[in-house]
Structure 1
Amino acid sequence: MKNNIIRLFLCICLLSSSMAMGQQQINEPFKIGTESFMLNGKPFVIRCGEMHFARIPRAYWRHRLKMAKAVGLNTVCAYLFWNFHETSPGKFTWEGQADAAEFCKIAQEEGLYVLLRPGPYACAEWEFGGLPWWLLKKKDIKLRTQDPYYMERCRLYLKEVGRVLAPLQITNGGPIIMTQVENEYGSYGSDKEYMLKTRDYLKEAGFIVPLFSCDGTVQLKNDVQKDIFAVVNFGNNPEAAFKALREVQPTGPLMCGEYYPGWFDSWGAPHHTGSNDHLIKELGWMLDRNASFSIYMIHGGTSFGLWAGANCQPYTPETSSYDYDAPISENGNATPKFDELRNTLKKYLQPGEVLTDVPAPIPVQKIAPFNLTAVAPIMPQLSKPVLSDTTLFMEDLNQGYGMMLYETNLPAGAKRKLDFTEVHDYAEVFIGNKLIGVLNRMKNEHVINIPELSKPAKLRVLVEAMGRVNYGYYLPDRKGLQGEVYSITGEEKVMLKGWKHYSIPLGEGNPQFKYSAINTIPKLNGPGFYKGHFKTNSKSDFYLDMRWFKKGVAWINGHCLGRYWNIGPTQTMYVPGVWLNNGKNEVVVLDLHRPAAARLQGLDKPILDSLTTSEIISSNHRKAAQKFGNNQNSLIYTGAMENTGKWQTFTFSPKNGRYLALEAINNFTGDQFAALAEVELLDEHGDQLPRNSWKVVYVDSEELKGNDGKSENLFDLQYTSIWHSQWKDLAPKYPHQVVIDLGSKTTIGSIKMLPRQDMETGRIKEFKVYLANQLFNGL
């Protein structure tokens, strides 16, 4: 009897334990184990790919998700862009193109789980990194810090995200299995309390699935927090990256949060591509070790509207095409990279999984050349200016995107210069109605020569705002003229006052201007909107060929396609067929300059890699007669780097100067190539010196054709971009030099350098550092 009682007691205990475990599995259908992710109690490898619903026409969401499933993925990663949902304080949009919940529901219907990345900061080469422009109306705001106003707005935003998306967590039967806290914060700061508060806001908003953070291998140490699972971002060498992850997170499954199959494009730089073999080899390496990953991007899409962002420093705006050389092309079709990836992933399916069929390709069409027949000059139609003694930012006028016209009077007088301090981002300068020059932030231009004036004249400055900076320390990127404007004649310097400000907002919906027949205004040399029509009975996609136009924005039937610029590399604009009408379709093109012809056509293939000039990215860094000479009297340090991908710091007695030269003597592989990711300078106290005024004035060799190896990459805050000496057409031998104008005399006590991250080739070994108050001999 006693034994029976004992047996009954043990059975009850086992049953209770089993029920408790079952209940735990119900409450935690997805969790993070010590060695692997667990889905419904079984080990689970996340095969994920990123795509952004904001960059895909809503009518194509299901098609793109079907493509992701068909290539062999089981999860999709989805960013939310705060500025896409809260366009003004407290006014949220979750309908139409912004219906994030519907995107997640469709993903689940197509057999995909979701990794949610709600921000508040995203980066993603998106305008302002996803932050709302209206935050900048508060002049003293400190972004991505514990600034009280910033944190309160983040809390309200994330609470709203929770209201809409927390019900779609896997714990409620939805597809969301993990949610990210902020994004790559270790690349920006190291305030652990800030990250923990952001985590708490997500919990307060109702997110109970595991929370995670991500960053690059070098920055992980700044990002890792208690109870926030860490993943690592990289585009190469998973073994080294996961080793860095293990140093900060000894247990748990290994995961790459962003694995790069290609890269984004910027205006004036070559189109980026990524190796198919490299992608397949490294994903295979990860899968052989049960490591999870998310491919950034599996499908890039398009930054429609004015949503494309910019990098800094130097200022480099990104193209509207976000093709990314991804496995799924900009218009959603399979590429050779897709086919190779599908063949690889089918070898790693989990029990019960099968590959779904690849959806039929989205059809494309050609549109015969057609002329635009009407034009609306901009400046004659502006009215109701805002008056101010000094220049105002666009944000001061409660304007988020578009252009502004600044107007004041110039007195008669001799030739002079105008110094605008800074221009954000592209300005046309007019005296009366005559264009006298252009100022381009990409080239750090802010001074222009004014001819002699026999009588007072009207000064007009039309400023186009391109994308706000989306990455790094220069996020507070207000638009328009930055600071005072000075008229300089000899030694005399006079500040211009009495400014009129005209807003020209742009975005979705056709701009409302009065048009005239184009043949009635034959000599328009200022900015204007051009309008025309074409007919088609097909709703197939096509690519609008912009090669007759120069720089501006285009619309189809009121849908803003984005920006174009004839410098390249992109020369076409993707037009989704679902935005077309049967029959007549309207096209509006804003061009800042007079086009070669007011003509357009539709192509069935994009032009993604056609640079018309290298001036933007090269800026004449080396003239034919220039050669770095004997500058031993300016030598301040000689040293050698280690053959690793880690930051390396070299300290010396503090020196003062304006011009810094870095001379690479040799590398670790014994060939002629030099490559370096980043350079930072520290003052005599060990504090980092700002880099916003740096400018390359000489480089002996930089690769501008085969890849984006420009010398400005040394201080662009992007650890994956590099300065690379030439290799495509020429391959000059060592030594290699880069000379940087620091903007003013500066005291330097240390130099920090980050070797290239992706491979050993070109990693500098021995080097020298020079510092002088005047340009070096030979330059």
Structure 2
Amino acid sequence: MNHKKNFLALVLGVLLICAAGQSSQAQQHKSKHSFEIKNGSFLYDGKPIQIHSGEMHFARVPHQYWRQRLKMMKAMGLNTVATYVFWNFQETAPGVWNFEGDHDLAEFVKTAGQEGMMVILRPGPYACAEWEFGGFPWWLQKTPGMVVRTDNQPFLDSCKLYFTKLAEQVGDLQITHGGPIIMVQAENEFGSYVAQRKDIPLEQHKAYTAAIKKIIDEVGFDIPKFTSDGSWLFKGGTIEGALPTANGEGNIHNLKKVVNEYHGGKGPYMVAEFYPGWLDHWAEPFPKVSAESIVKQTEKYLKDTVSFNYYMVHGGTNFGFTAGANYNGEHDIQPDLTSYDYDAPISEAGWATPKYKAIRTLMQRYVHYPVPEIPQQIPVIEIPAIQLTQSANLFDLIGKMKPVENDTPMTFEDLNQGYGYVVYQKKFVQPIQGKLKVDGLRDYAIVYVNGKQVGELNRYFKNYEMDIDIPFNSTLTLVVENMGRINYGAEIVHNLKGIISPVTINDMEITGSWQMYKLPMTSFPEITSGTSQTTGNPALYKGSFDVKDVGDTFLDMQDWGKGIVFVNGHNLGRYWKVGPQQTLYLPGCWLKKGKNTIEIFEQQNDKKHTELHSIKTPILESLRLPEKKGA
């Protein structure tokens, strides 16, 4: 018995020694590296470093591809990855938080660390990024008394909950806790917002940004903070205790001058958004930035020890309904493309472009750390013919649905719907002719009388009215699409969708028993069997196809009008014949060997479709504008 006790005591002692050793190793690991802003420099383990960063948003890339994209960045000569965190991507419904799969922020950060990359976190709460509502959840607009991006307690309370959730996920992945996150941004490009919202006193703006930084500190982010603005906007955008960095600043003299002014007369100096490409809108040319100009500017930064972050080094894709929209005077709204290729060095599908190779060659001349070989490209396949064997008329589908009824049209938000489509119907017991006006259209509508298409209205082209002839005992139908909430500028506070103001005919408001059918398209509606679609009506198509070997591909939508595509349940995003994007990126990780399903919602449906093809290269520069207003 005593021998057994002695043996157990010996085993216990060994275990305690091992545990103590492991604890000691863990502590050593957690204190392995340090990062701070001191003496005008970024210091990593006490030594000055230059940050060579590239922006990649984990939300725009399937999680199965994160590592390959990070390896591509590493092989371009970068040592850091910057990523936005989109609030509405993490809180997918009020109080519903998703940190799994493509939403797994912590896993992305860990993967970056495993690949030897430092991480810069950009959690907002406002991001912009051509993302729906700039990252804000759509339902914030429904909260009584809440005003986004202001010193408003209901908004700040919501922000604190959001930041608390993020800290729970990645707080232990900060460099102060042994992880790879070295800096966190407070708000984003707030100086430009101050410049546009002159109706709010500067001291109130400053109170808001100070409150955001305080929240970020309080929830447990204990690493250096920074702000990011155009250099001419620092007055409104800088925050006490945060490093000011500049966006798009090519003049190093100007950069140093303005940072010195707002940061105690010294650096470090960083261009937090250095643009190797540019954003893209539907119905507008695809902008290009030359490799030569980017290499030339990069070399200036490298020579002058200016840190930089390529925005974007890899853009990815606005899958589903995640694309936002910009706003200007010429167009009420400029919807962003599904592709976020951005003419970036790493293409939408993760390919090394000529721009990538030119930057890589330059970086190899300047950096003192090893630059690995370019990783192997993900295989690309071509699917010659996808047969669409089932179809249905949307109007047959909604005939089986229960509508919401109201005296006037309701917004998406009033219908408690964030994205997708709403079908608005109004029965007329007396005939009426004249000018139909939908000044509150948000954003695109096809108009029908008794199921027959009679016109299109379009916020982009400022086409809000049309002649209408509604016979006795007839039904007016508007199929309305939300094309993405505004993501930048003062108009971000005006982001309701659907029909947001009275519908008139001959300047008389049309009221009384409007029926609204909700089509959020969170999943594709079921098609039972057959081919019951009608040309000229919105249609639902379904088919299947087999693949022997999976790989990336691009669905060729040049023969289609406007709509969305699901493959194996994944919403690939919007297509629209106006271009310039004419293909949809289909990641191979969403395919499976053998049978795959495809589902398409085609809004315009000017002709019957029986098949679809895929091709090996994307079409992103084919603009096909209509000859007259509409689309």
- TM-score by length of structure 1 reads 0.73
Distance 2:107 2:235 in 1: 36
Please state how far the C-alpha of 1:566 moved relative to its aligned partner.
0.7
- Aligned match of 2:566 in 550, 555, 576? 555
Question: Are 2:451 and 1:422 aligned?
Answer: no
- Give the counterpart of 1:359 among 375, 385, 388: 375
| SS of corresponding position for 2:604 | coil
The answer to whether the 8 A contact 2:259-2:266 is kept is: no
The aligned residue for residue 302 of structure 1 is 317
In 1: Cα distance, 2:630 partner to 2:188 partner: 33
Partner residue of 1:320? 338
Question: Where does residue 92 of structure 2 map in the other structure?
Answer: 87
The equivalent of 1:604 in structure 2 is 616
- Using the TM superposition, name which of 91-100 and 246-255 deviates more: 246-255
| Distance in 2 (alpha carbons) for counterparts of 1:284 and 1:297 | 18
Structure 1 residues 27 and 198: CA distance shift in structure 2, 3 A: farther
User: How many Å separate the matches in 1 of 2:111 and 2:425?
Assistant: 51
Give the match for residue 385 of structure 2: 369
Indicate if the aligned counterparts of 2:457 and 2:630 stay in contact, CA closer than 8 A: no
Q: Which amino acid aligns with 1:205?
A: V
Counterpart of 2:433, as a letter, is: K
Q: Following TM superposition, by how much is the alpha carbon of 1:179 offset from its aligned partner in structure 2, in angstroms?
A: 0.3
| From 407, 420, 429, the counterpart of 1:389 | 407
Whichever residue aligns with residue 121 of structure 2, its letter is: L
The alignment-based identity, stated in percent, is: 41
Q: Map of 1:241-256 to 2, 5 A cutoff?
A: 241-249=255-263, 250-256=265-271
The answer to whether the 8 A contact 1:404-1:463 is kept is yes
Q: Is the contact between residue 232 and residue 242 of structure 1 (CA under 8 Å) also seen in structure 2?
A: no
- Counterpart CA distance in 2 for 1:242 and 1:233 is 13
Distance 1:34 1:497, change over 3 A: farther
Report the residue type matching 2:240 in the other structure.
K
Where does residue 172 of structure 2 map in the other structure?
167
Deviation of the 1:238 alpha carbon: 4.1
1:273-288 to structure 2, matched below 5 A, reads 273-288=288-303
2:245 aligned with 1:227:
no
- CA 99–341 in structure 1, closer or farther in 2 if over 3 Å, else same: same
Post-superposition Cα deviations, 1:587-626, rounded to whole Å, max 9, x if no partner, equal 111100115433211111000100111658x999xxxxxx
* Worse-matched range after superposition: 560-569 or 249-258: 249-258
Structure 1 residue 547: deviation in Å?
Answer: 1.1
Closer, same or farther: CA 516–417 of 1 in aligned 2, 3 Å: farther
1:26, distance to aligned residue in structure 2 (A):
5.3
- Relative distance call for 1:251 and 1:236 in structure 2 (3 A) is closer
Residue 81 of structure 2 is aligned to residue 76 of structure 1? yes
C-alpha contact 1:542 1:577 (8 A) present in aligned 2 = yes
Unaligned runs of 5+ in 1: 1-22, 621-779
Residue in 1 that maps onto 2:217: 203
- Give SS of 1:397's match: coil
Q: Does 1:470 align with 2:481?
A: no
Q: CA RMSD in A?
A: 2.0
Larger radius of gyration: 1
2:527 to 504, 514, 518: 514
- Whole-angstrom distance in 1 between the partners of 2:296 and 2:267: 24
Aligned partner of 2:25 in structure 1 is none
Per-residue deviation at 1:414?
4.8
Number of residue equivalences: 586
Q: Look up the equivalent residue of 1:460 and give its one-letter code.
A: T
3-state SS in 2 of match to 1:396: coil
CA–CA separation in structure 1 for the residues paired with 2:267 and 2:470: 71
Deviation at 1:139, TM superposition (A): 5.8
Moved more, 367-376 or 438-447: 367-376
Q: Which residue of 1 aligns with 2:473?
A: 456
| Corresponding residue for residue 112 of structure 2 | 107
Amino acid of the residue matched to residue 297 of structure 1? M
Give the gaps of 5 or more residues in structure 2: 1-27, 195-201
1:572 aligns with 2:559: no
Q: Tell me the alpha carbon deviations over residues 657-682 of structure 1, each in whole angstroms, 9 at most, x when there is no partner.
A: xxxxxxxxxxxxxxxxxxxxxxxxxx
Report the 3-state secondary structure (helix = DSSP H, G, I; strand = E; otherwise coil) of the residue aligned with 1:150.
helix
The yes-or-no answer on 1:341 pairing with 2:349 is no
- What SS is found at the alignment partner of 2:490? coil
Cα distance in structure 2, aligned partners of 1:364 and 1:586 = 19
Corresponding residue for residue 291 of structure 1: 306
User: Shift in Å at residue 384 of structure 1?
Assistant: 1.2
CA distance in 2, matches of 1:614, 1:67: 39
Give the distance between the partners of 1:311 and 1:239, measured in 2 at CA: 31
Q: Which residue matches 1:690? A: none
- Mapped pair 1:437 → 2:449: no
Q: Does 1:43 align with 2:48?
A: yes
Q: How far apart, CA to CA, are the structure 1 residues paired with 2:253 and 2:288?
A: 23
1:332: which partner in 2?
A: 350
- Residues 103-136 of structure 1, C-alpha deviation per residue, up to 9 Å, x if partnerless? 0001011010000001111010011100001112
Structure having greater relative contact order (Cα 8 Å, sep ≥ 6)? 2
Counterpart for residue 682 of structure 1: none
SS of residue paired to 1:443: coil
* Cα distance, 1:524 vs structure 2: 3.1
Q: SS where residue 586 of structure 1 aligns? A: strand
Alignment of 1:188 onto 2:180: no
1:140: Cα distance to partner?
Answer: 4.8
Q: What is the rounded CA distance, in whole Å, between the counterparts of 2:145 and 2:527 in structure 1?
A: 40
> In the superposition, relative to structure 1, how do residues 354 and 614 fare at CA in structure 2: closer, same or farther (>3 Å)?
farther
1:372 CA drift (Å): 1.1
Alpha-carbon distance change, 445 to 339 in structure 1, aligned in 2, over 3 angstroms: same
What is the distance in 1 between the residues matched to 2:250 and 2:469? 54
Q: Is the 8 A contact 1:381 1:513 kept in 2?
A: no
Give the letter aligned to residue 600 of structure 2.
V
Runs of 4+ in 1 over 6 A off after TM superposition: none
d(CA) in 1 for partners of 2:109, 2:470: 63
